[in-house]
A and B are shown apart, each in its own frame.
Chain A
Amino acid sequence: MSAGNHSPKPVAELVLESSLESVDVAENHAIAAAERAGMPEEDVFRFGYAVREAMVNAVVHGNRYSSNKTVGFRILVFPGQIEVRIQDQGDGFDTKGVADPLAEENLLSQSGRGLALIRAFVDELLVAPADGGGTTAVLRKFVRAGTESPPQVSEE
Protein backbone atom coordinates (compact mmCIF):
# COMPACT_ATOMS: atom_id res chain seq x y z
CA MET A 1 0.00 0.00 0.00
CA SER A 2 1.31 3.45 -0.81
CA ALA A 3 1.21 6.19 1.77
CA GLY A 4 -0.03 8.60 -0.88
CA ASN A 5 1.46 11.35 -2.97
CA HIS A 6 1.39 14.10 -0.36
CA SER A 7 4.29 13.40 1.97
CA PRO A 8 4.40 15.13 5.32
CA LYS A 9 7.55 16.78 6.59
CA PRO A 10 9.93 14.12 7.95
CA VAL A 11 10.02 13.84 11.74
CA ALA A 12 13.62 12.72 11.36
CA GLU A 13 15.98 13.03 8.41
CA LEU A 14 19.59 12.07 9.09
CA VAL A 15 22.79 11.16 7.33
CA LEU A 16 24.45 8.55 9.52
CA GLU A 17 27.94 7.05 9.67
CA SER A 18 28.37 3.37 8.85
CA SER A 19 28.64 2.29 12.47
CA LEU A 20 26.74 0.29 15.06
CA GLU A 21 26.21 3.53 16.99
CA SER A 22 24.15 4.72 14.02
CA VAL A 23 22.02 1.60 14.34
CA ASP A 24 21.18 2.61 17.91
CA VAL A 25 20.44 6.20 16.83
CA ALA A 26 18.06 5.07 14.10
CA GLU A 27 16.28 2.57 16.35
CA ASN A 28 15.78 5.21 19.04
CA HIS A 29 14.32 7.70 16.53
CA ALA A 30 11.94 5.05 15.19
CA ILE A 31 10.80 4.04 18.66
CA ALA A 32 10.22 7.66 19.67
CA ALA A 33 8.19 8.34 16.51
CA ALA A 34 6.10 5.21 16.99
CA GLU A 35 5.39 6.10 20.61
CA ARG A 36 4.38 9.65 19.67
CA ALA A 37 2.07 8.24 16.98
CA GLY A 38 0.26 6.17 19.61
CA MET A 39 1.44 2.73 18.57
CA PRO A 40 0.81 0.04 21.24
CA GLU A 41 3.87 -0.95 23.27
CA GLU A 42 4.46 -4.31 21.60
CA ASP A 43 4.10 -2.81 18.13
CA VAL A 44 6.62 -0.13 19.10
CA PHE A 45 9.05 -2.89 20.03
CA ARG A 46 8.45 -4.73 16.75
CA PHE A 47 8.83 -1.58 14.67
CA GLY A 48 12.05 -0.64 16.45
CA TYR A 49 13.33 -4.19 16.01
CA ALA A 50 12.63 -4.12 12.26
CA VAL A 51 14.31 -0.74 11.85
CA ARG A 52 17.33 -1.96 13.79
CA GLU A 53 17.67 -5.03 11.54
CA ALA A 54 17.32 -2.91 8.39
CA MET A 55 19.96 -0.50 9.65
CA VAL A 56 22.31 -3.41 10.38
CA ASN A 57 21.81 -4.57 6.80
CA ALA A 58 22.70 -1.09 5.52
CA VAL A 59 25.74 -0.59 7.76
CA VAL A 60 27.15 -4.13 7.72
CA HIS A 61 26.11 -5.72 4.43
CA GLY A 62 25.58 -2.56 2.36
CA ASN A 63 28.28 -0.12 3.37
CA ARG A 64 30.47 -2.74 5.06
CA TYR A 65 31.31 -0.32 7.87
CA SER A 66 33.07 1.98 5.36
CA SER A 67 33.94 5.36 6.82
CA ASN A 68 33.58 6.77 3.32
CA LYS A 69 29.94 5.75 3.03
CA THR A 70 26.86 6.98 4.84
CA VAL A 71 23.33 5.77 5.49
CA GLY A 72 20.40 8.03 4.71
CA PHE A 73 17.63 7.68 7.28
CA ARG A 74 14.19 9.28 7.18
CA ILE A 75 10.96 8.87 9.11
CA LEU A 76 7.61 10.03 7.79
CA VAL A 77 4.46 9.88 9.88
CA PHE A 78 1.21 9.61 7.92
CA PRO A 79 -2.29 9.32 9.34
CA GLY A 80 -2.45 5.73 10.55
CA GLN A 81 1.02 4.63 9.52
CA ILE A 82 4.73 5.30 9.91
CA GLU A 83 7.29 4.95 7.16
CA VAL A 84 11.04 4.59 7.58
CA ARG A 85 13.34 4.86 4.60
CA ILE A 86 16.94 3.61 4.87
CA GLN A 87 19.37 4.09 2.02
CA ASP A 88 22.91 2.73 1.91
CA GLN A 89 25.75 3.28 -0.57
CA GLY A 90 26.71 -0.35 -1.05
CA ASP A 91 27.01 -2.48 -4.15
CA GLY A 92 23.30 -3.25 -4.33
CA PHE A 93 21.30 -6.11 -2.98
CA ASP A 94 18.80 -8.54 -4.46
CA THR A 95 16.48 -10.12 -1.91
CA LYS A 96 15.91 -13.00 -4.32
CA GLY A 97 19.50 -14.03 -3.68
CA VAL A 98 18.87 -14.55 0.03
CA ALA A 99 18.41 -18.16 1.06
CA ASP A 100 15.12 -18.86 2.82
CA PRO A 101 16.09 -19.03 6.52
CA LEU A 102 12.89 -20.95 7.26
CA ALA A 103 13.71 -23.80 4.91
CA GLU A 104 14.58 -26.99 6.75
CA GLU A 105 18.09 -27.10 5.30
CA ASN A 106 18.83 -23.54 6.45
CA LEU A 107 17.51 -23.65 10.01
CA LEU A 108 21.00 -24.16 11.42
CA SER A 109 22.56 -21.35 9.41
CA GLN A 110 24.19 -18.75 11.60
CA SER A 111 22.93 -15.79 9.57
CA GLY A 112 20.23 -14.77 7.11
CA ARG A 113 17.25 -14.21 9.44
CA GLY A 114 17.18 -10.40 9.40
CA LEU A 115 14.86 -9.93 6.43
CA ALA A 116 12.44 -12.59 7.69
CA LEU A 117 12.21 -10.83 11.04
CA ILE A 118 11.71 -7.43 9.40
CA ARG A 119 8.90 -8.83 7.26
CA ALA A 120 7.27 -10.37 10.32
CA PHE A 121 7.33 -7.12 12.27
CA VAL A 122 6.18 -4.54 9.69
CA ASP A 123 3.16 -4.36 7.39
CA GLU A 124 5.15 -3.57 4.28
CA LEU A 125 8.81 -3.92 3.29
CA LEU A 126 10.14 -2.67 -0.01
CA VAL A 127 13.77 -3.23 -1.00
CA ALA A 128 14.95 -1.67 -4.24
CA PRO A 129 18.05 -0.26 -5.94
CA ALA A 130 18.65 3.33 -4.87
CA ASP A 131 19.12 6.20 -7.29
CA GLY A 132 22.86 6.59 -7.74
CA GLY A 133 23.72 3.15 -6.38
CA GLY A 134 23.17 1.30 -3.16
CA THR A 135 19.93 -0.03 -1.78
CA THR A 136 16.83 1.58 -0.35
CA ALA A 137 14.67 -0.22 2.20
CA VAL A 138 11.24 1.20 3.01
CA LEU A 139 9.47 -0.13 6.09
CA ARG A 140 5.83 0.74 6.80
CA LYS A 141 3.78 -0.13 9.83
CA PHE A 142 0.19 0.76 10.59
CA VAL A 143 -0.70 2.47 13.83
CA ARG A 144 -3.39 0.35 15.39
CA ALA A 145 -4.14 2.23 18.56
CA GLY A 146 -5.08 -0.09 21.39
CA THR A 147 -4.61 -3.32 19.47
CA GLU A 148 -1.32 -5.07 18.88
CA SER A 149 -0.74 -6.60 15.48
CA PRO A 150 0.43 -10.20 15.71
CA PRO A 151 3.82 -10.99 14.16
CA GLN A 152 3.40 -12.35 10.65
CA VAL A 153 4.51 -15.94 11.04
CA SER A 154 4.95 -18.15 8.01
CA GLU A 155 2.34 -20.89 7.83
CA GLU A 156 4.55 -23.14 5.72
Chain B
Amino acid sequence: MSVTLTTRQVGDVTVIDAKGRITLGEGSSDFRDSIKSLVAKGQKNILVNLANITYIDSSGIGEMVSGFTTVANAGGKLKLLSLTKRIQDLLQITKLYTVFEVYDDEAAGLASFQS
Protein backbone atom coordinates (compact mmCIF):
# COMPACT_ATOMS: atom_id res chain seq x y z
CA MET B 1 0.00 0.00 0.00
CA SER B 2 1.23 3.48 -0.84
CA VAL B 3 0.24 6.59 1.06
CA THR B 4 -3.22 8.07 1.47
CA LEU B 5 -3.31 11.78 2.26
CA THR B 6 -6.53 13.32 3.55
CA THR B 7 -6.69 17.03 4.28
CA ARG B 8 -9.04 18.84 6.64
CA GLN B 9 -9.22 22.48 7.64
CA VAL B 10 -9.24 23.43 11.31
CA GLY B 11 -9.45 27.21 11.54
CA ASP B 12 -6.52 28.51 9.53
CA VAL B 13 -4.55 25.29 9.86
CA THR B 14 -4.62 22.52 7.28
CA VAL B 15 -4.20 19.10 8.83
CA ILE B 16 -2.92 16.32 6.57
CA ASP B 17 -3.86 12.89 7.88
CA ALA B 18 -1.33 10.55 6.30
CA LYS B 19 -1.82 6.79 6.18
CA GLY B 20 0.37 4.03 4.77
CA ARG B 21 3.93 4.17 3.46
CA ILE B 22 5.97 7.16 2.26
CA THR B 23 8.74 5.61 0.18
CA LEU B 24 10.68 6.25 -3.02
CA GLY B 25 8.25 6.35 -5.91
CA GLU B 26 4.56 6.95 -5.57
CA GLY B 27 4.35 7.62 -1.84
CA SER B 28 6.97 10.33 -1.64
CA SER B 29 5.80 12.05 -4.85
CA ASP B 30 2.21 12.07 -3.56
CA PHE B 31 3.39 13.80 -0.40
CA ARG B 32 5.38 16.37 -2.39
CA ASP B 33 2.44 17.11 -4.71
CA SER B 34 0.07 17.51 -1.77
CA ILE B 35 2.28 20.08 -0.06
CA LYS B 36 2.86 22.04 -3.27
CA SER B 37 -0.87 22.06 -4.00
CA LEU B 38 -1.70 23.40 -0.55
CA VAL B 39 0.94 26.12 -0.76
CA ALA B 40 -0.30 27.11 -4.23
CA LYS B 41 -3.75 27.56 -2.72
CA GLY B 42 -2.33 29.87 -0.08
CA GLN B 43 -2.40 27.39 2.81
CA LYS B 44 0.60 28.27 4.95
CA ASN B 45 -0.11 26.55 8.24
CA ILE B 46 0.23 22.80 7.77
CA LEU B 47 0.15 20.09 10.44
CA VAL B 48 1.08 16.62 9.16
CA ASN B 49 -0.45 13.81 11.21
CA LEU B 50 1.86 10.79 10.94
CA ALA B 51 0.04 8.56 13.45
CA ASN B 52 -0.95 6.08 10.74
CA ILE B 53 2.27 6.10 8.73
CA THR B 54 3.63 2.58 8.93
CA TYR B 55 6.90 3.19 7.08
CA ILE B 56 8.95 6.09 5.79
CA ASP B 57 12.27 5.66 3.98
CA SER B 58 15.05 8.19 3.45
CA SER B 59 13.32 9.44 0.31
CA GLY B 60 10.13 10.06 2.28
CA ILE B 61 12.12 11.82 5.00
CA GLY B 62 13.66 13.96 2.26
CA GLU B 63 10.21 14.89 0.98
CA MET B 64 9.14 15.96 4.47
CA VAL B 65 12.20 18.20 4.66
CA SER B 66 11.47 19.54 1.19
CA GLY B 67 7.89 20.22 2.23
CA PHE B 68 9.13 22.03 5.32
CA THR B 69 11.31 24.25 3.15
CA THR B 70 8.58 24.85 0.55
CA VAL B 71 6.12 25.98 3.22
CA ALA B 72 8.74 28.09 5.02
CA ASN B 73 9.69 29.82 1.77
CA ALA B 74 6.03 30.73 1.32
CA GLY B 75 6.04 32.34 4.76
CA GLY B 76 4.33 29.48 6.57
CA LYS B 77 5.11 26.58 8.85
CA LEU B 78 4.93 22.81 8.46
CA LYS B 79 4.79 20.90 11.74
CA LEU B 80 4.46 17.23 12.63
CA LEU B 81 1.90 15.46 14.78
CA SER B 82 1.76 12.04 16.46
CA LEU B 83 5.02 10.39 15.47
CA THR B 84 5.32 6.65 15.92
CA LYS B 85 8.30 5.36 17.89
CA ARG B 86 10.02 4.32 14.67
CA ILE B 87 9.60 7.72 13.08
CA GLN B 88 10.86 9.34 16.28
CA ASP B 89 13.98 7.16 15.98
CA LEU B 90 14.45 8.18 12.33
CA LEU B 91 14.20 11.88 13.16
CA GLN B 92 16.64 11.42 16.04
CA ILE B 93 19.19 9.59 13.87
CA THR B 94 18.95 12.23 11.14
CA LYS B 95 18.93 15.12 13.65
CA LEU B 96 15.70 16.39 12.16
CA TYR B 97 14.22 16.80 15.62
CA THR B 98 16.15 20.05 15.56
CA VAL B 99 14.33 21.12 12.40
CA PHE B 100 10.70 20.08 12.87
CA GLU B 101 8.31 21.18 15.56
CA VAL B 102 6.69 17.96 16.77
CA TYR B 103 3.49 17.56 18.79
CA ASP B 104 1.88 14.53 20.40
CA ASP B 105 -1.44 16.27 20.91
CA GLU B 106 -3.45 17.72 18.02
CA ALA B 107 -4.95 20.55 20.07
CA ALA B 108 -1.49 21.66 21.16
CA GLY B 109 -0.23 21.40 17.58
CA LEU B 110 -3.11 23.52 16.29
CA ALA B 111 -2.70 26.09 19.06
CA SER B 112 1.00 26.44 18.29
CA PHE B 113 0.20 28.16 15.00
CA GLN B 114 -1.52 30.99 16.90
CA SER B 115 1.54 31.90 18.93
Which residues on A are within 8 Å of B, measured CB to CB? 20, 23, 45, 49, 52-53, 56, 60, 101-102, 107-111, 113-114, 116-117, 120, 151, 153-154
7 shortest A-B CB distances, which residue pairs? A110-B62, A113-B58, A114-B58, A120-B93, A110-B66, A102-B95, A111-B62
Please indicate the chain B residues that have their CB under 8 angstroms from the CB of A113 in the complex.
Answer: 58, 61-62, 94
Closest partner residue, chain A, to B32 (CB atom): A110
CA distance A115 to B107 in the complex (A): 36
22 A-B pairs within 8 Å (CB atoms) are namely A20-B24, A20-B25, A23-B24, A49-B57, A52-B57, A56-B24, A102-B94, A107-B95, A107-B99, A108-B69, A108-B99, A109-B65, A110-B63, A110-B65, A110-B66, A113-B61, A113-B62, A151-B89, A151-B92, A153-B92, A153-B93, A154-B95
Q: How many residues of B contact A (CB 8 A)?
A: 22
CA distance A14 to B86 in the complex (A): 29
Main secondary structure of the interface of B (DSSP, over half): helix
> Do B69 and A56 have beta carbons less than 8 Å apart?
no
- B114 at interface, CB cutoff 8 A: no
Interface centre among A45, A102, A113, A151 (most CB of B within 10 A): A113
> Do A56 and B57 have beta carbons less than 8 Å apart?
yes
Please indicate the chain B residues that have their CB under 8 angstroms from the CB of A101 in the complex.
Answer: 94
CA distance A110 to B70 in the complex (A): 11
Please indicate the chain A residues that have their CB under 8 angstroms from the CB of B63 in the complex.
Answer: 110
Question: Given contacts A110-B65, A153-B93, are A117 and B25 in contact (CB under 8 A)?
Answer: no
Please indicate the chain A residues that have their CB under 8 angstroms from the CB of B90 in the complex.
Answer: 117
A20 CB to closest chain B CB, in angstroms? 5
- B98 at interface, CB cutoff 8 A: yes
> Do B65 and A108 have beta carbons less than 8 Å apart?
yes
Question: Given contacts A102-B95, A113-B61, A151-B89, are A60 and B24 in contact (CB under 8 A)?
Answer: yes
- B59 at interface, CB cutoff 8 A: yes
> Do B25 and A107 have beta carbons less than 8 Å apart?
no
